[in-house]
Amino acid sequence: MPNGKTIISCAVTGNLVRPEQHPGLPVTPEQIARAAIDAGRAGAAIAHIHVREPDSGRPSMRLDLFREVVERIRDSGSDILINLTTGEGGRFAPSDDDPRVAGPGTTLLHPLRRTEHVVALKPDLCSLDFNTMNSGPHVVINTPANIRKMAAAIIEAGVKPELEVFDSGDIHMAGDMIAEGLLPGRPFFQIVTGVRYGCAATPETIAYMKSILPAGAAWSAFGIGREEFPVLAIAKCLGGHVRVGMEDNIYIRRGELVRDNAQLVEKAVALLDMLGAEPASPAEARAILGL
């Protein structure tokens, strides 16, 4: 990476952590936008954003909520890059009586519904999940046909997809789509580790995942829970970029809840400094990713 600059992404709220697990979890559009702005001030170049129903804190895909978050960030004068999720809408929970029928917990949506907010708001980046895998008691389903539909909509909107990969087959599928010309430009992969039944958060696994990336790809990796900061160090030492945030981890150290997303970014900056790296600014991240 030029001049040792490392992109820090901050995933500020996600969809699985519950408000009762952390009283400071960003829930409302104002809170989510403020978390992204503060993360940028602390050293993050990218804010990865989900939205939630303000009254319940449950995951949401409402366009009006995404719009309010994006407008608040843009109006603030922050130059942090905005990365909107498209991950919601891929979960299937088979009913007990008939596994062909969706049961409680199913969130499956049409692929163009999952990209509606990206097309409307045109963020700098958006996630594009390649995984079909077991996830807790449910299954996450992202078929090749649906990924292609989502990718086409994202590219048509002029947005760069962050290719989220959870296992080696996801990288092979992404490689096929790159070879087809469906994903133009320098690809940006996000290697997800520590999710049960996905990639293990180990140096060996991350090194292997890196080894099969397309030549010239930019990449980042992150770990869930207590693996967040060990994976940060592994990714940096292997030449990758990094991610932290309350979507992935709500503790600053064992048994101590983090103050907020900015504190996680501050620790990431300190660890990178110990490893001889500096956080990339949003402008530098744009150059690295070819935005």
Q: Which domain holds residue 268?
A: 2-87+160-289
Residue 134 lies in a domain: no
- Is residue 20 in some structural domain? yes
Per the domain annotation, does 230 fall within a domain? yes
Question: Residue 1's pLDDT band (boundaries 50, 70, 90)?
Answer: very low
Task: Categorize the per-residue pLDDT at 253 as very low, low, confident or very high, splitting at 50, 70 and 90.
Answer: very high
Domain count, the chain: 1
Q: Is residue 278 part of a domain?
A: yes
Residue 70: CATH number of its domain: 3.20.20.70
Residue 27 lies in a domain: yes
Residue 2 pLDDT class (50, 70, 90 cuts): very low
Cα separation, 229 vs 83, in Å, equals 21
Q: How far apart are CA 280 and CA 79, in angstroms?
A: 12
Task: Tabulate helix, strand, coil % of the chain (nearest 5).
Answer: 40, 20, 40
Residue 132: C-alpha distances to residues 39, 52, 138, 166, 193 (Å): 31, 23, 11, 9, 15
Report strand pairing: 133-135 vs 138-140.
antiparallel
Q: For 170-207, how does the pLDDT look when each residue is reduced to its tens digit (9 = 90+)? A: 999 999 999 999 999 999 999 999 998 999 999 999 99
Q: What is the pLDDT of residues 98-144, one digit of tens each?
A: 999 999 989 999 999 999 999 999 999 999 999 999 987 889 999 99
Q: Is the pLDDT of residue 3 over 60?
A: no
Which phi and psi angles does 223 have, rounded to 5°? Answer: -120, 155
Give the C-alpha separation, 55 to 38, whole Å: 23
Handedness of CA 96, 224, 168, 146 (dihedral sign): positive
Looking at the domain assignment, is residue 40 inside a domain? yes
Three-state SS string over 132-198 comes to CEEECCEEECCCHHHHHHHHHHHHHCCCEEEEEECCHHHHHHHHHHHHCCCCCCCCEEEEEECCCCC
Q: Is residue 11 part of a domain?
A: yes
Only one residue has tokens 């981890």, namely 249
Would you say residue 64 lies in a domain? Answer: yes
Of 45, 44, 26, nearest to 34 by C-alpha is: 26
Q: Look up residue 254 and give its two tokens.
A: 């064992």
